[in-house]
Amino acid sequence: MYSPQIILEAALNGLMTGAVYALIALGLTLIYGVLHIINFAHGALLTCAMFAVWVAWAWLGLDPYLVIVPLVPLMFVLGYGLQRFVIGPASHGDDGNILLVTLGLSIVLENVLLAVFQSDTRTLDTDYSFQVVALGPLLLSYPRVIGLGVAVVVTGLLWLVLNRTDTGKAIRAVAKEKLGANLVGIDVPHVYAITFGLGCACLAVAAGLLMPTFYVNPRIGSAFVLVAFTVVVLGGMGSLPGALLGGLFIGVVESLCGLFLGDSLGQIGIFLIFIAVLLVRPTGLFGAKA
Amino acid sequence: MTARDLIPIVVLAALAALLPLVVTSSPVMNFLVFTLIVALGAQGWNILGGFGGQFSFGHAAFFGTGAYVTAILQLRFGVNAWAGLLLAMAAGAAVAWTIGFLSFRSGLRGSYFALVTLAFAEVFRILANATAFTGGAAGLLIKLDVHPANLQFADRAVFYWLVLAFVTGVLLLTRWIQRSRFGAQLVAVRENEDAAKALGVDSLKVKLRAIALSGAVTALSGCLYAQYFLYIDAHIAYGSWISVELLLAPIIGGVGTVFGPVVGALTLHGLGELAKQFAGRIPGIDLIVFGGVLVLAVAFARGGILGLLERLRDRGRGMMTRGAKEVSHAGR
């Protein structure tokens, strides 16, 4: 039997891993909520961002947290461009096509990274990678505490952008009624691209938070993207608070499953939840009834 | 089905059967056998995805089941390989029917269906990778024992003919589906499920039949993969690479057509080999080509290569009739 302290620590660590899942899922759910598409390239884009963090650290000696600052606008521009000039025009507005185009993009991105960086797994180390914060009797990993804090702040910022700015209003209008938004003069392709860019910007933050404790290789994105899908479905497609809570929940489930079932079976809990939610309540726990 | 439906299939199969008499290089034979195995699995995907319009992102679940059932029956229970092949197909159909029953009954379609199939395949992969019964992470090695009764052949050409025979069989099956009442109902469900239901089509039953057939065919390709390479592990059998391959081929070749999956698989793997020849030892170069071709196909060639050819033919015909009109005008 495990002592309660170990279980509690595992749950808290899971909570903090979940915060990063939440950030990844936030981008995915935003894109889904507005464009009504499932972005299969999300994982590959995350891998790109993670390599960018690694390169900045290895070649320029920059701190991974610091890299987030320039990486956020960079990823935004990349996402904006991809949606505006590749995904949008190539898919002719058909959902099935968008699925296929983003799948094609993810294959290309992943393998370009493979061609450039080879399949080696890379890590970076900082002074604080293994630092811990003591909370009473519990020892928590310092980078993960930071991750949790930043994830909450970013969710809040995103909420503010969506609810308190004109751009946010336009995004919400397009999400609700594309045709109507177009009629009142909103440039729909532009709003689509901005949304996609925002989703990618979330990935830049996630990459910066992940790298001090995690590793990167060209295939790493697919591991995250399935988890992110689960979070999005669980939280209700398109719901921001759903993504945050769903991410935290999935992090805890994964951590506890890993503790009880061992590492190789740990992820299975996630997929079983995923399948169960899809089968029983595809609108998620926080989503509106379809 | 009429003779006109059958003749192109039979003629092409006969021509393809002559290839090993001309080509003797074993890398080329290897390429052909592997491509045909992918084509066979892709034909399975096409029955559900092409005719039924249900895009699965997890056909690895059926491919892997076929491969694992064949290997485990031989290794653990001493079952004959040919019997294993039949049981593998039955298992593939059963797994597919179950996944179909669960997801279609909950009304999952479109992206939701794609996601749930992806998740099922991942569950299978994790289980196969973690269980001792399936060989765990080390995988399963089928004992080398070359004998026709063991579905192992000394000559690659024989295996090529075997796979070709199965591919031809499924081409005929697909043609039959296309011409049958079942096929018409399946297409009706793809085009507009509610309208099909209103006309009295039992859409759940039709979709379940399609996914079971699809699972059996794809399991057959997994079984042949295991018998040809004599080794499988969870990442090969249940990996997402095979789900993607099986979906790419029909989409590139021509989704919902009889020859699409075969044309697509040959084109993709042909291009992949070419890219490897030109680019040398860059890892993943063939996959970069695959992804690029997929984006281009969706952007510029809806209906895939066959759709493109048809459009060119129509345009050619249009010109000819216009030409004929001009001639008749001139004659007047």
Residue partners of B149: CB distance under 8 A and separation at least 6:
B80, B81, B82
- For the residues B62-78, what does the mean pLDDT come to? 94
For residue A120, the tally of other CB atoms under 10 A from its CB is: 9
Name the closest residue on chain B to residue A272, using Cα atoms: B123
Distance of CA A251 to the CA centre of its chain: 13
- For the residues B304-323, what does the mean pLDDT come to? 78
Give dist(CA A152, CA A146) in Å, integer.
10
What is the structure's pLDDT at B280? 73
For residue B187, pLDDT beyond 90: yes
- pLDDT tens sequence across A200-233: 999 999 999 988 888 888 888 887 888 888 888 8
B138: DSSP letter: G
What is the structure's pLDDT at A272? 85
For residue A131, pLDDT beyond 60: yes
In this prediction, residue B61 has a pLDDT band, given cuts at 50, 70 and 90, of very high
Q: In chain B, which residues have their Cβ closer than 8 Å to the Cβ of A265? A: 126, 130
What is the structure's pLDDT at B324? 54
What is the structure's pLDDT at A286? 61
For residue A140, pLDDT beyond 50: yes
For residue B11, the tally of other CB atoms under 10 A from its CB is: 10
Q: How far is B155 from chain A (nearest CA, A)?
A: 35
For residue A125, pLDDT beyond 70: yes
The pTM for the full model equals 0.88
Mean pLDDT taken over chain B: 89
What is the structure's pLDDT at B164? 95
What is the structure's pLDDT at B320? 63
Q: In chain A, which residues have their Cβ closer than 8 Å to the Cβ of B57? A: 103
For residue B251, pLDDT beyond 80: yes
- pLDDT tens sequence across B206-244: 999 999 999 999 999 999 999 999 999 999 999 888 999
Percent of chain B with pLDDT strictly greater than 90:
58
For residue A268, pLDDT beyond 50: yes
Q: How far is A276 from chain B (nearest CA, A)?
A: 9
B230 touches chain A (CB under 8 A): no
For residue A102, pLDDT beyond 80: yes
Residue A24's alpha-carbon distances to A243, B40, B112, B169, B285, in angstroms, are 9, 37, 19, 45, 28
Which range is least confidently modeled, A16-30, A104-118, A152-166, B318-332? Answer: B318-332
Give dist(CA B92, CA B124) in Å, integer.
13
Q: In chain B, which residues have their Cβ closer than 8 Å to the Cβ of A262? A: 130
**Both tokens of residue B230?**
């004599």
Name the nearest CA neighbour of B51 among B244, B216, B261. B261
B147: DSSP letter: B
For residue A89, pLDDT beyond 70: yes
Give dist(CA B288, CA A112) in Å, integer.
7
**Both tokens of residue B291?**
């992804």
Residue partners of A116: CB distance under 8 A and separation at least 6:
none
The residue ranges of every structural domain in chain A are: 2-278
Size of chain A, expressed as the number of residues it contains? 290
What is the structure's pLDDT at B331? 43
Give the residue, A283 or A73, on which the prediction is more confident.
A73
Which range is least confidently modeled, A243-252, A277-286, B69-78, B198-207? Answer: A277-286
What is the structure's pLDDT at A285? 65
Give dist(CA B266, CA B269) in Å, integer.
5
Mean pLDDT taken over chain A: 86
CATH architecture label of A2-278: Orthogonal Bundle (1.10)
For residue A290, pLDDT beyond 50: no
What is the structure's pLDDT at A36? 80
Interface ipTM > 0.95: no
Q: How far is B133 from chain A (nearest CA, A)?
A: 15
Q: How far is B182 from chain A (nearest CA, A)?
A: 24
Q: Do B283 and A97 touch (CB under 8 A)?
A: no
- For the residues B278-305, what does the mean pLDDT come to? 85
- Alpha helix positions (H), B78-155: 81-105, 111-130
In this prediction, residue B319 has a pLDDT band, given cuts at 50, 70 and 90, of low
Q: Do B283 and A114 touch (CB under 8 A)?
A: yes
In this prediction, residue B98 has a pLDDT band, given cuts at 50, 70 and 90, of very high
Q: In chain A, which residues have their Cβ closer than 8 Å to the Cβ of B111? A: 37-38, 95, 99
Top-confidence range, A114-123, B17-26, B61-70, B264-273: B61-70
Residue A274's alpha-carbon distances to A224, A227, A253, in angstroms, are 14, 9, 12
Top-confidence range, A111-120, B33-42, B311-320, B322-331: B33-42
A278 closest CB neighbour out of B108, B127, B302: B108
What is the structure's pLDDT at B211? 96
Best of A99, A118, A217, A289 to substitute, by most chain B Cβ atoms within 10 angstroms, is A99
Q: Do A275 and B111 touch (CB under 8 A)?
A: no
For residue A101, pLDDT beyond 50: yes
What is the structure's pLDDT at B330? 46
Burial class (CB in 10 A: 0-12, 13-18, 19+), A139: middle
For residue A79, pLDDT beyond 90: yes
- pLDDT tens sequence across A32-63: 888 887 888 999 999 999 999 999 999 998 89
Q: How far is A82 from chain B (nearest CA, A)?
A: 12
Q: In chain A, which residues have their Cβ closer than 8 Å to the Cβ of B137? A: 264
- For the residues B262-266, what does the mean pLDDT come to? 94
Which range is least confidently modeled, A8-22, A120-134, B206-220? Answer: A120-134
Contact, A143 vs A125, CB < 8 A? Answer: no
Name the closest residue on chain A to residue B284, using Cα atoms: A111
Give dist(CA B56, CA B59) in Å, integer.
6
For residue A75, pLDDT beyond 70: yes
Burial class (CB in 10 A: 0-12, 13-18, 19+), A143: buried
